[in-house]
Amino acid sequence: MRVVPVSPLGTSGLVDTLRRNLLPTSKGTHVTVQGHRAVEDIGNCSTPSGACPGKVGSLLVLDGPTIYWVFTEGLDASSTQRVLDSLHIDG
């Protein structure tokens, strides 16, 4: 699992763009994480040379000027979901 907090964001324009464009139009599932808008997606693992074992999971959460991104690869579907569900934002 990788969790990437970016705070404070270098420009508020990126957060605004994500709020307006990415979250409302994402192909992922719209979820709420501790009251924050988020997008979650789990798909089959693939590379330019073909399929790979397991799933790829991604969770993007906006918390004011902070973006949290959780990314997993190579786990089975239930393990991927457990990792994405494990994010806890302090504060």
Sign of the torsion angle spanned by Cα atoms 12, 16, 18, 19? positive
Average pLDDT over residues 13-19: 56
Measured in residues, the chain has a length of 91
Q: What local confidence, expressed as pLDDT, does residue 46 receive?
A: 82
**Contact predicate 87/68, CB 8 Å:** yes
Three-class secondary structure of residue 82 per DSSP: helix
Which residue has better confidence, 65 or 36? 36
* Residue ranges covered by each domain of the chain: 2-85
Q: What local confidence, expressed as pLDDT, does residue 11 receive?
A: 47
Q: pLDDT, tens digit, for every residue of 63-77?
A: 877 788 888 888 999
CA distance 24 to 18: 9
CA distance 83 to 64: 23
Average pLDDT over residues 6-16: 51
